[in-house]
Structure 1
Amino acid sequence: MDASPSLQLIGAWSRAASDAAPLASPLARQPRLQDHLRREITPQRTAVLLGLILLSIATEHFCPPEFGIQKADRWKPYAVVDSICMGILLIADGLPPEAVLLALTVIYVLAGIITEHEAFSGFSSPGVLAFGALFVLSEAFAEVKVLDALISRCLGSPKTLLTAQFRITVPVAVLSAFFNNGPLVAMLVPIVQAWSQRHGHSAAQLLMPLAFASTLGGTLTIIGSAANLLAHDRARALDPPVDIGFFDLTPYAAPLGLLGLCYMLVAGPRLLPKSTEVGRDGQVTRSPSKSQRPGAFPQFTAFTADDMPSEAELVEPDQLRRYHILFVVRSRCPSIGCSLFDMGMTRLPDVLVLELRREGQPLQDTFGTALAAGDFIKVAAGAASIARLRKAYDGLEPAVHKDLATLGPHRRHRRLFEAVVASNSALVTEPLAKQKERLLRKAGSVILAIRHSSSEAAAADLEARSPLKLVPGDVLLLEAFPDCLDRLADFSVVAAVESSKPPRRGRQQDRLRGLLCLFGFVLAIGLNGLGFLPLAAAVLALDFFCCCARVLSWREAMRGVNGSVMMTIAASFGISAAMTKTGAAAALANALLNVGLRSGPFGVLCMVYCGTALLTNIISNTATCVMMIPVAVHVAKQLRQSDGCENIDEKTLLFLVIFAANASFATPLGSPSNILVVDAGNYTFGDFVRFGGMLQIIMMWATCSALYYFPCS
């Protein structure tokens, strides 16, 4: 399913660029209105607008199309088409899609092209409300880690790349039929990255199939993507209304998705780049990314037991920022019986395994010994890597887990912090053991690890040094509640570690919450599929249940709803109304028919598919769906009047638009799933054209053939 346009490539890049821009000095000259206008109204955009206006004038003068409206209103369809073309250009230039679509809708209202009710009917649409509620549901499932456990079991330990791709794409395609694409892919990208590193596979050959599988799976059900819900909502507004059931897309989407998965499995090893190479000896080489994804692991070298260097040799500038931390293997850990090498810990970047202890004694074969409950693993890692390590391995917890349990049940509010000890802190005057109790009692914080200020101490074994006191400048890695550290004046600098929320698993209530969420979701989807409960009401009821069960707080649920995608979908209703009311959709449909009918009804289907697929690879699939649905409806009405085309009705053309609008494979521009894997897999634009372009052609012929030979009527 689709994520928000904040995850869509064009909008995300423009906002990321503005966020990353340095703040202007208060003394610097502030830009004036003329400067803003000069920057936005560029000569290129002005030339395109003038060209569109001249083309409209020439079209009206030499070959005026039939709009079916009064002569005095013939300027309106030209204004709509020209403004939509300019909107596509602005989106391609980096403006947020939701801002462009909403601006066009407001302009149409002010110009008298559509009414206010027609422009803003999307804000009261049950389909839009249901899609927003699905964002909250995705956040809830990410919190209870149900999908993480399911995906981890599906991935297993494949030996070949083909098996790895199969184990990733199939479950993702199934899950994407019921969950938002963006949050699902965003949740799975770090899992697949770490999993590929642990098992010696190239992440670049797994992440693009992951994104494409989520896109293919999103067409299986009506809630699979925003385009599906939008088409469902617009179909009910037709006269007569067209009903699209929850699983009506499945008979077509299942074989099409299977065909797409087969293509990826066959062509993936040959067409996808190989940016990561991992050998059996643990040596890892990665080509650097042009822009590292925030929170991504840096380049690293892992060592086996035979070539492990001494700790004196490990003291390098970047390693001085590492902590030495002790993890304990709990009895619930699924990795019990596996060695550290089999677990992939020797391949994790920025994580160096120093020692494996059993019953207080270090083991000689650190990486080849099978783990047992109660074993201790000493690692050297950065703060962010420690946070990721806790999430990657269930049952692997810091050795101070008993102290963490005393912090209380509200784990979702806790974070990791790096705190620099101040010179006037009581931590430097009294024994550390006593100060640990004070931090736990007064600030609700637990020390996980210590990094000493001197380079010799930083590289040394903390337990061998046995520090009784800290010194100013030492850095503590703490787990605490964000507002608790303000109660102490012991630290000169406190910095939160990004994405360091502790995983909520291991307790009985965690498993119970996960099972209840999964059962509630299956029940809600089942009741809606059988027609007993509207989709929006079913999903909203499940959202309220998740908040009542403390899976999410109400504030977290509200933050989970992305306003950008909601605005994009709601504003697109006005665009659709303008195209229909002015006759622009009918004129475009007639043009497609005149060209496509030369090859028969199949040619018409191909023309509609090509036009939709071209737009969806440039702008978002929701905007594409809005623009093409009125065209598809008029094409269907005209086809009914042609010989041999009586079976191709509005529902068939709507299905064609749905499949084509979701088929954004040839570029990273149209799909939020694609942008999420661009940097993670170090892909280029050419990688998408080479691997996804052929898939685009295959899906076009397969979709048009399926709907031509097996129409919905």
Structure 2
Amino acid sequence: MELQAWITLGVLFLTLALLISEKLAAELVLILAMLALLALGVLDPKQALGGFSNEGMITVAAMYVVAAGLRDTGAIDLVVQKLLGRPRRLSLAQLRVMAPTVGLSAFINNTPIVAAFLPAILSWAKRNQFPASKLLMPLSYAAILGGTCTLIGTSTNLVVNGLWTSRGNPDLGMFDIAWIGIPTALVGMLYMMTIGQRLLPERKPGTSAFENPREYTVEMIVENDGPLVGKTIAEAGLRHLGRLFLIEIEREGRIIPAVGSSERLLGNDRLVFAGDVDAIVELQRIRGLRTPLNGNDAAIAKQYPERKLVEVVISTRCPLINKTLRDSRFHTYYGASVIAVARDGQRVRGGLGDVVLKPADTLLLEARPVWVERHRHSPDFLLVSDVADSEVPRFDHALRAWGILAAVILTATFGWVEMVTAALLGAAASVALGCVSVTAARKSIDTQVLLVIACSFALGKALEVTGAAAEIAGLLLTIPGENPLWVLALAYLMTMLLTEMITNNAAAVLMFPICMAAAEELGVSPLPFVYAVMMAASASFSTPLGYQTNLMVFGPGGYRFTDFLKVGIPLQLLLWGVAVAIIPRVWPFDA
């Protein structure tokens, strides 16, 4: 190998060492690696910065906006309750996450699936008191495994099919790879529900030590024509809400205390809950419930559909002290609606409108996003702070958001436009049609993930252009000798290792000609090697850099680089054994 190839390998090993040590942020490590390759002359500026214009990176950014539209309209929440349900055991929760993900990703690009499911699963995990770190890695792995079940499941399969047909061979069948894809998907799911479950970390959010201990009293109205009318408390999903408790129901002037699970909801029922801020945020994402707005509050909500939750603490200078919320006309005075009250950590008795305001009362408001900036220094409040991720869902736009996602998927699947074009058009449509605001769209894009993706392409490019990857692959494939099964096993292993260091497609492109040459030299059918490259190039489980979906769950799951090593390496070795055992039986060497 030439000097530049050795330099590239040195930068690669140093990068991996820093990522494993976690002494620096992942995006900073990758930026430094890219700059090192640029400064040392291994890559020119166009090659080093090519990742920032890469279609995959841009697609991920655009899909974040589409996913934000699904989140802010409550579109995912409409489906997630039926799809995920309320499992009592973690293994069943993981199955509920992985099974639909595998099925969908067999036909749909993995990135939008993970982008769409990610916020819903975070919310669902909190509601059911499951650690998100126990569910997000299975989500990513299931998306990867599902992509191996059909020819269109992942771009890597299509790349390999293109390389195969370029040699004068007919197209591979749409479901041919399913003979190996489905067994490995089932084995992978079983692994994650058993061994993987024990290896997965139980991470807590960084803010968990500072969680809001206040217990609020909040009222919600059952919409008269909503989907909850006629359902029991249990069927409506209002019995097991984590840290939120249904205290009583006010119905036509009478109070129903100690509400049972079999109690059926009627239109205009007034439900009284007690719980913390996070629980109330989740409550607002249940379709069929609304805050009890009067005429003026409703007008505010209609005029400003983009609203979020804000916490304020009443000061002794507030002119509304000793007045009830109803008489104070708080909504007119401050342009915000009170939806919950907390006082000295105790539940406030009586209806919300009858609460008499006292100094140091904490109010939870529905207000415009700019409300905090306008009232942050008001002498009427001791504290003004917005509640993170508390935007009120716009359920009336939910079908519109699903339609946008469906359009993105269909146009890309049928090849009417490129995936990146479909994703960008979907993002633009989400903003233009009011599914997500410009501000929310900008905040939804995870720049850390995008930086890691863009800079990781520089490492992959350096391995390609210097010939380091091809040299290593060619050298190792000379080890097994004349036994085709051992050559197949080593080819799979080498592709699997490469795909953790460079992109899936690059690993497949590098290994395909080497494997074809090996099959020709051995005088055996090349088909086992074709499917081995397909499967191994998608086996990106051991590092967050291996695949885009791993990067997408890396931050939200609170994972460390070593977590992927602990869970992913055993999975890769297991699937390696399954693939090497099955492939020659489905596609014999002597065919």
Q: Normalising to structure 2: TM-score of the pair?
A: 0.80
The alpha-carbon distance between structure 1 residues 144 and 572, as it changes in their structure 2 partners (threshold 3 A), is same
Are the aligned partners of 2:151 and 2:175 in contact in 1 as well (CA < 8 Å)? no
Determine the structure 1 residue equivalent to 2:272.
Answer: 378
Among 333, 336, 340, the residue aligned to 2:233: 340
Are the aligned partners of 1:215 and 1:663 in contact in 2 as well (CA < 8 Å)? no
The alpha-carbon distance between structure 1 residues 389 and 549, as it changes in their structure 2 partners (threshold 3 A), is same
Amino acid at match of 1:450: V
By how many angstroms is 1:547 displaced? 1.8
The alpha-carbon distance between structure 1 residues 379 and 151, as it changes in their structure 2 partners (threshold 3 A), is closer
**1:607 equivalent in alignment to 2:490:** yes
The alpha-carbon distance between structure 1 residues 338 and 597, as it changes in their structure 2 partners (threshold 3 A), is farther
The alpha-carbon distance between structure 1 residues 325 and 588, as it changes in their structure 2 partners (threshold 3 A), is same
Among 77, 96, 118, the residue aligned to 1:186: 118
State the secondary structure of the residue aligned to 1:594.
coil
Report matched runs for 1:170-319 at 5 Å: 170-176=99-105, 177-180=108-111, 183-193=115-125, 196=128, 209-219=138-148, 251-252=176-177, 256-257=181-182, 259-261=184-186, 264-265=189-190, 268=193, 272=197, 292-293=204-205
Partner Cα distance (2:353, 2:304) in 1: 32
1:157-202 superposed Cα distances (whole Å, 9 cap, x missing partner): 67998876554422222344435365345323334425646xxx99
Determine the structure 2 residue equivalent to 1:46.
Answer: none
Amino acid at match of 2:572: Q
**1:445 equivalent in alignment to 2:357:** no
State the secondary structure of the residue aligned to 2:539.
helix
Partner Cα distance (1:500, 1:542) in 2: 24
Among 497, 500, 508, the residue aligned to 2:390: 500
Among 457, 476, 480, the residue aligned to 2:363: 476
Among 516, 535, 540, the residue aligned to 2:424: 540
Among 438, 463, 477, the residue aligned to 1:593: 477
Partner Cα distance (1:630, 1:343) in 2: 51
By how many angstroms is 1:78 displaced? 1.9
By how many angstroms is 1:560 displaced? 3.2
Among 45, 70, 86, the residue aligned to 1:116: 45
**1:557 equivalent in alignment to 2:489:** no
Unaligned runs of 5+ in 2: none
Among 261, 269, 289, the residue aligned to 1:396: 289
Partner Cα distance (2:383, 2:587) in 1: 67
Determine the structure 2 residue equivalent to 1:81.
Answer: 9
**1:137 equivalent in alignment to 2:31:** no
Amino acid at match of 2:21: D
Partner Cα distance (1:92, 1:352) in 2: 43
Are the aligned partners of 2:65 and 2:430 in contact in 1 as well (CA < 8 Å)? no
Amino acid at match of 1:496: D
Aligned length: 579
Determine the structure 1 residue equivalent to 2:575.
Answer: 699
Partner Cα distance (2:508, 2:15) in 1: 18
Partner Cα distance (2:28, 2:364) in 1: 42
Unaligned runs of 5+ in 1: 1-66, 68-73, 276-288, 300-317
Deviates more, 1:322-331 or 1:652-661: 652-661
Partner Cα distance (1:267, 1:167) in 2: 12
**1:350 equivalent in alignment to 2:243:** yes
By how many angstroms is 1:549 displaced? 0.7
State the secondary structure of the residue aligned to 2:4.
helix
Partner Cα distance (1:661, 1:165) in 2: 19
Q: Normalising to structure 1: TM-score of the pair?
A: 0.68
Are the aligned partners of 1:133 and 1:539 in contact in 2 as well (CA < 8 Å)? yes
Partner Cα distance (2:88, 2:72) in 1: 31
**1:524 equivalent in alignment to 2:403:** no
Partner Cα distance (2:369, 2:547) in 1: 37
The alpha-carbon distance between structure 1 residues 651 and 418, as it changes in their structure 2 partners (threshold 3 A), is same
Are the aligned partners of 1:636 and 1:653 in contact in 2 as well (CA < 8 Å)? no
Partner Cα distance (1:93, 1:274) in 2: 19
State the secondary structure of the residue aligned to 1:387.
helix
State the secondary structure of the residue aligned to 1:348.
coil
Partner Cα distance (1:332, 1:247) in 2: 51
Amino acid at match of 1:371: L
Partner Cα distance (1:704, 1:274) in 2: 25
Are the aligned partners of 1:208 and 1:677 in contact in 2 as well (CA < 8 Å)? no
Amino acid at match of 1:79: I
The alpha-carbon distance between structure 1 residues 130 and 504, as it changes in their structure 2 partners (threshold 3 A), is same
The alpha-carbon distance between structure 1 residues 417 and 222, as it changes in their structure 2 partners (threshold 3 A), is farther
The alpha-carbon distance between structure 1 residues 210 and 489, as it changes in their structure 2 partners (threshold 3 A), is same
Partner Cα distance (2:463, 2:191) in 1: 42
By how many angstroms is 1:513 displaced? 1.9
The alpha-carbon distance between structure 1 residues 635 and 343, as it changes in their structure 2 partners (threshold 3 A), is same
By how many angstroms is 1:491 displaced? 1.2
**1:571 equivalent in alignment to 2:455:** yes
Amino acid at match of 1:135: Y
Are the aligned partners of 1:415 and 1:502 in contact in 2 as well (CA < 8 Å)? yes
By how many angstroms is 1:497 displaced? 1.7
By how many angstroms is 1:100 displaced? 3.6
The alpha-carbon distance between structure 1 residues 405 and 517, as it changes in their structure 2 partners (threshold 3 A), is farther
Partner Cα distance (1:366, 1:139) in 2: 35
Amino acid at match of 2:319: A
1:452-491 superposed Cα distances (whole Å, 9 cap, x missing partner): 35x7xx44514499444x2322222111113235255421
Partner Cα distance (1:290, 1:481) in 2: 36
Partner Cα distance (1:143, 1:221) in 2: 32
The alpha-carbon distance between structure 1 residues 566 and 452, as it changes in their structure 2 partners (threshold 3 A), is closer
Deviates more, 1:366-375 or 1:418-427: 366-375
1:638-682 superposed Cα distances (whole Å, 9 cap, x missing partner): 4255122562599656524432225769x99993466468669xx
State the secondary structure of the residue aligned to 2:109.
coil
Partner Cα distance (1:595, 1:160) in 2: 46
State the secondary structure of the residue aligned to 1:642.
helix
Are the aligned partners of 1:205 and 1:273 in contact in 2 as well (CA < 8 Å)? no
Determine the structure 2 residue equivalent to 1:659.
Answer: 538
Considering only aligned residues, what root-mean-square deviation do their CA atoms show, in Å? Answer: 4.7
By how many angstroms is 1:411 displaced? 5.8
The alpha-carbon distance between structure 1 residues 495 and 223, as it changes in their structure 2 partners (threshold 3 A), is farther
By how many angstroms is 1:502 displaced? 1.0
Partner Cα distance (1:251, 1:622) in 2: 28
Are the aligned partners of 1:596 and 1:606 in contact in 2 as well (CA < 8 Å)? no
Partner Cα distance (1:551, 1:387) in 2: 19
By how many angstroms is 1:433 displaced? 3.1
By how many angstroms is 1:495 displaced? 1.8
Are the aligned partners of 1:387 and 1:500 in contact in 2 as well (CA < 8 Å)? yes
The alpha-carbon distance between structure 1 residues 613 and 336, as it changes in their structure 2 partners (threshold 3 A), is farther
By how many angstroms is 1:147 displaced? 3.0
1:585-635 superposed Cα distances (whole Å, 9 cap, x missing partner): 2320122212244542x433433443454577xxxx574648745652562
State the secondary structure of the residue aligned to 2:521.
coil
Amino acid at match of 1:75: L
Partner Cα distance (1:375, 1:431) in 2: 22
Amino acid at match of 2:46: H
Partner Cα distance (2:27, 2:175) in 1: 30
